[in-house]
Every structure is written in C-alpha cells, then in structure tokens.
Amino acid sequence: MKSITIQGTKRESVGKKSTKALRDAELVPCVVYGGGEPLNFSATEKAFKGLVYTPEAHTVSIEVDGQVIPAVLQDIQFHPITDKIIHADFYRLSDDKPVVMEVPVRITGRSKGVVAGGVLRQSFRKLKVKAIPANLPDEIVVDITSLKIGNKLYVGTIKTEGYSFVHPDNAVVVAVKMSRNAAKGGATADDDDEEEVVAEGGDAPATEEAAAE
C-alpha cells in the first residue's frame, strides 16, 4: 500500500487552551496511539490533503522531531460549519500486528443485467479490511460482468489474499435491480431473483442478505 508523509511538531501541552491556539494558527491537533505512550503532535491541514481528500487508501509516515512513525489514520473530526479538520487520531503500525482500515472498492466489467436494462446499486464504496501492514491492499477489485438482473454480490464471495473483511459475509457489496424501463421492455430477472454471485472465486454465503452499512 502507498504511504504519504506528514510532518509534525510535538505538542508540549495538550490542554484546551493550547488546542484552541493550534486551531487558531490553522494547525491540526493529532495523536498517535499504540506501541507505548500516546504521542501528541500538530500538523498543517495541508499535510492531510493526500490522505483525506482522495478516494485512495494510504498508510502514513509521521515525522516528528526526527522520529519516523508508520501509522494509519483511525479517526478524523471536522468542524460542523467550516468543514476544517479539527483533530486526527492515528494508530502506530507494527510489522506483525494486524490493523483495520478502509480500502476503496473498484468495480470492473459491465454487468449483463445492466446491459439488459437493470440498475446497478453499490452499497459499499469502501470496505474495512484487517491485515498486517505488508498485506494491506490498495483496493478491492470486483468484477460484475456475470451479474444479471436480481443478482447480488456478497462480501463473503470476494477472494482475499492475506487479509480478511471486517463485515458479515452476507453483506451485499453490489446488486443489479430491475428498473422501470427494463420492466416495460419485458426484461425478466432470473428464476431466483435472490441469486448469489461469486466474485473472483469462493463459495457464495448460505445466509440471507444483511443490511448494508
């Protein structure tokens, strides 16, 4: 997985007064957890541009006072009115310790159901995966070519290599629904309109569809 660098300055004080002063100076208060005592630091909001304002997933190299800390973003808070970043939490990475993070879903192929007039519904733009840092994927690729009207593609049917999903196996990632135009044109769904489709190998889950997040 790609990594970006965030240059930071260690915070000597973490009270409300100092936090407000940082924000007034257009700096973001941050904390790194894991691996001992939390590290409090601040960074410019511009430093987050390549991490937050992008559809891609990245790990982070935090550089503070000559120290380089590999981490992942765990939580970020925005001002409710200005939408400025007001706080960020990071988690320190260890080579042998699994971490959870969101990874974008990339759809490939053209669904047979969409060609027939159906509508593709994507429930997840990102999926949470769990893996050691070396196995974190840049993206989750799902091929929808075989999806017909009435078909659904489940989390549990997506092939993984070195990582697992932090979602129920029966959570629906994408589905092809009947559209009004398809119905008027005489298109029909498969005999079993709840057909489960396997993506990139694996067995379809036996449980019923779970509500997508």
Query: Considering the chain, what percentage of its residues have pLDDT values greater than 90?
Result: 70
What is the Cβ-side half-sphere exposure of residue 176, based on CA atoms within 13 angstroms?
A: 26
For 101-199, CATH gives 2.170.120.20
For 127-143, what is each residue's pLDDT tens digit? Answer: 999 999 999 999 999 99
Q: What is the percent of the chain with per-residue pLDDT over 70, rounded to a whole number?
A: 84
Per-residue confidence band for 97, with pLDDT thresholds at 50, 70 and 90 = very high
Q: Are 181 and 130 in contact (CB under 8 A)?
A: no
Among 15-19, 21-25, 82-86, the range scoring the smallest mean pLDDT is: 15-19
**pLDDT classification of 20: cutoffs 50, 70, 90:** confident
Pick the CATH number of 3-93 from 3.40.50.720, 3.30.300.180, 2.40.240.10, 3.10.20.310: 2.40.240.10
**pLDDT at position 209 over 50:** no
DSSP one-letter string for the chain: --EEEEEEEE-S--SHHHHHHHHHTTEEEEEEESSSS-EEEEEEGGGGHHHHSSSS--EEEEEETTEEEEEEEEEEEE-TTT--EEEEEEEE--TTS-EEEEEEEEEES--HHHHTT-EEEES-SEEEEEE-GGG--S-EEEE-TTPPTT-EEEEEEE--SS-EESS-TTBEEEEEEPPHHHHHTT----SSTT-EEEESSSPPPSSPPBPP-
Please state the rounded mean pLDDT for residues 132-158: 95
39-60: per-residue pLDDT in tens?
Answer: 999 999 999 999 998 889 999 9
Predicted pLDDT of residue 92:
95
Higher confidence at residue 91 or residue 1? 91
Domain ranges of the chain: 3-93, 101-199
| Prediction pTM value | 0.77
